[in-house]
Structure 1
Amino acid sequence: MAISRFLAPPIPRASGSLHAAIRRLEVEDSRLYVGAVNLAWRNWHRQAYGARGRAPYADGYYCCEYCDPMPGRETIELALHRLPRSSARELRRLVAPLDEHFLGRTYPDPHARQGPWWIGRC
Structure 2
Amino acid sequence: MPRRRSGALRAQYQGPRVWEDPPPSRIHGLSARTSLAIHRVEGLSSDYYVFPGATVRALRRYRAFLQPPGRRPLYPQDTHCSCRGCSFGDVRHARDVLEEVLQRLPPRPSAELKRQVAHLDAVCLERTLPDPFAHRRQWRADLWWRRRLTVGGEAV
AA at the equivalent of 1:15: S
Cα shift readout 1:17-74 (whole Å, capped 9, x = no counterpart): 01000000011111121101111111111223348xx8xxxxxxx9837376342101
Q: Structure 1: state its 5+ residue gaps.
A: 55-61
Larger gyration radius, structure 1 or structure 2 = 2
Q: Structure 2: state its 5+ residue gaps.
A: 1-21, 79-89, 150-156
Aligned residue number for residue 103 of structure 1: 125
For residues 10 and 107 of structure 1, what CA distance do their matches in structure 2 show? 34
TM-score, length basis structure 2? 0.59
Asked whether 1:14 is paired with 2:47, we answer no
Aligned 8 A contact 1:108 1:120 in 2: yes
Aligned residue number for residue 30 of structure 1: 46
Deviation at 1:106, TM superposition (A): 1.2
TM-score, length basis structure 1? 0.74
Work out which of the residue numbers 52, 63, 66 in structure 1 matches 2:77. 66
For residues 116 and 20 of structure 1, what CA distance do their matches in structure 2 show? 27
For residues 34 and 113 of structure 2, what CA distance do their matches in structure 1 show? 8
For residues 65 and 24 of structure 1, what CA distance do their matches in structure 2 show? 30
For residues 74 and 127 of structure 2, what CA distance do their matches in structure 1 show? 11
CA RMSD of aligned residues (A): 2.8
AA at the equivalent of 1:11: I
For residues 42 and 76 of structure 2, what CA distance do their matches in structure 1 show? 32
- Give the secondary structure class of the aligned counterpart of 2:145: coil
Asked whether 1:116 is paired with 2:143, we answer yes
**How many residues end up aligned between the 2 structures?**
108
